[in-house]
A and B are shown apart, each in its own frame.
Chain A
Amino acid sequence: MAGFSRLAIPLIAIVAILVVGEALSPGFAAPRQVFNQLTVASFLGLVVIGQTLVILAGGEGIDLSVGAAVSLGALVAGNVMNGSDAMILPALAASALTGAAIGLVNGIGVTRLRIPALVMTLGSTGVITGILILMTNGKTSGRSAELLSQMVAPPLLFGISGIVYLWILVGALATFVLHKSRFGYSLVAVGANEQAAAMVGLSVPWIRLAAYVGCSSVSALAGFFLIGYTGSVFVSIGNQFVLTSIIAVVIGGTALSGGSGGFVGGALGAVVLTLLQSVLIPLNVAEFGRQMIFGLTLIAFMVLYGREPKST
């Protein structure tokens, strides 16, 4: 069911944007520039991995709190590290635990209290934003360790930055789990047909709960690495990822109804969005033009696929 053709559209889009970008401003498709774009895309890409998990698990699953999880993960990491190399691993752990806690709350709300995911994650976003303001007093706070910054952004090997390798690693791991593990099969089964999955003895709530915990954890980790890229944290640092992560999932051919899709598509979707946003910058297009082109391209993507059947 993997369906390679599903990946064809984002792949063609990536090539097309690179060609157009190179024509408009020579150097856009040069390896160094492309690697830079991949570095930028990797943070969104990590969040997309989480969002894909939740959406795959079905039951109208969606996570609007990923942005808040990124911000809180970054903030916790920044304050634990505070510039000290020795604290990188504790910061990583703290950030992941923070994410897991957020996912646990979302997951319990959705699976045990049976609150619609959109409502639950919208509500938890409000609470997390409150926590962020309480912790930071609205100011930037925390500092990345020097070592982390060097691992994340500058080229590490073959001109590619560390965060891109990490993104590929996490993506590969997630793909492996999805296609080769019991949990992966269960996740897709639950997303595709909840009743059938329950009848063969799968615990639908537990599997969905695990998806939410995974999603928030990966998002918080994206926040941890993001602080290595930006150096410090502000409250709204993660907001940009909320709807873009959902759009990247859709561009990558994962159905919002659950049970069908994968991580490779989502990764391509994250690259498409990042390239699309940056191809417009050297054009000197005013902000309004950039927004309009961006929005229209998204609509075009959705017209290409993702149409629902007539009777449902």
Chain B
Amino acid sequence: MTVDVPRRRALNVPRSPLWLAASLVVLFSLASVALQPTFLSPRVLQSNLSTFLPLMIIAVGQTYVILGGAIDLSLGALVSLVNVVLVTSLQALGADPSFAAIAACMGMALLVGAAGGAVNGVLVGVLRLQPIVSTFAAGIVFGGIALWIMPQAGGSMPPVYAKTYAAKLFGVKGATFMLLSLVAIIYLISRTRFYIYLLAVGSNRPAAFQSGLPVMRIRVLSYIVAGLFASVTAMVILASTSAGDPLMGQAFTLGSVSAVVLGGTALSGGAGSAIGSMLGAVLLGLINNVLFFAQLPFVYQTIVQGTIILAALAGGIMVSRR
């Protein structure tokens, strides 16, 4: 017996199609090649990847929360918090720490991210508070803790941390390795029962609840997953900046939302993909790149950038309605 499930129709929610994000990435890559002949050289690709990677990772994390029908406006602050925790603890290790000690610090960073995510998860999933407001409030607290741990940007850390990231492992550099791992993790998550349930919760929460899904646990878990991605984002940023900054994460909050929407995930939840969010993040980075190499006068850059992003956001959703 086959059951004809109207898959597409059930998910008839406004979202940008994936092909649009992909074509725009190709378009802006071509523009980059035209403006910057060295764009395709391994060195420039590698450096662009390092620049884009943090937003790509945090956007993937944001995707899981949005797929569940919520949003996380604390992610930027959480990235800052993990960043200062990591810098402070690495600094305490001295100039030449063992790998085990560094691994312990990174494990702690993951725990901090997961704990922050759990806080959001409790607020939204257990206490059923409105996501926009409660995660923003939680973000203010995270930012406060980050400032408490490290009032000013700075700090130095064992050089081995950044060196390892820049070194080649199995023939690829750290950033490339992270990119491949990111894709692998997205694939693995998409194979889990959690992911299927998450889509169900995001597309129709009352129905998911009534069919007996553990709605509360799924929502909490989606925030914890996002928190873990915030930790990884902070680690990757630290590998290229080598310093702590209690305010560095701010741009990631709304940046990640933009990337997720550009990448074809519906803000109402239930439909979309983490790979799309990665494309969305790359697109945002490429737009910056093109504007920089187009040598547009500084005063025009923001308005052109804003217009392109608005057009892409709005255009994507309009295209999906045709």
Contacts and interface: CB of A to CB of B under 8 A. Distances in A.
A290 to B, nearest CB: 8
A302 B133 contact: yes
B148 A289 contact: yes
A253 to B, nearest CB: 13
Interface stretch (B22-30, B50-58, B297-305): B297-305
A303 B143 contact: no
B303 A298 contact: no
A123 B255 CA distance: 11
Interface stretch (B102-110, B172-180, B204-212): B204-212
Contacts of A287: 144, 147, 151
A130 B144 contact: no
Interface residues of A, number: 50
Given A246-B133, A291-B147, A295-B144, A311 B317 contact: no
Contacts of B210: 311
Interface in B67-122: 71, 73
A114 interface: yes
Contact of B306 (A126, A286, A289): A126
Interface stretch (A18-26, A70-78, A133-141, A160-168): A133-141
A120 B137 contact: no
A119 interface: yes
A247 B147 contact: no
Interface string A266-299: 0000000000000000000011111110111011
Contact of A126 (B14, B136, B305, B317): B305
Contacts of A310: 128, 209
Most chain B beta-carbon neighbours within 10 Å: one of A119, A137, A287, A307: A119
B306 A130 contact: yes
A127 B318 contact: no
Contact of A299 (B141, B298, B300): B141
Nearest to A137: B299
Contacts of B186: none
Closest 7 CB pairs of A and B: A130-B303, A126-B306, A291-B144, A295-B140, A123-B310, A292-B144, A295-B141
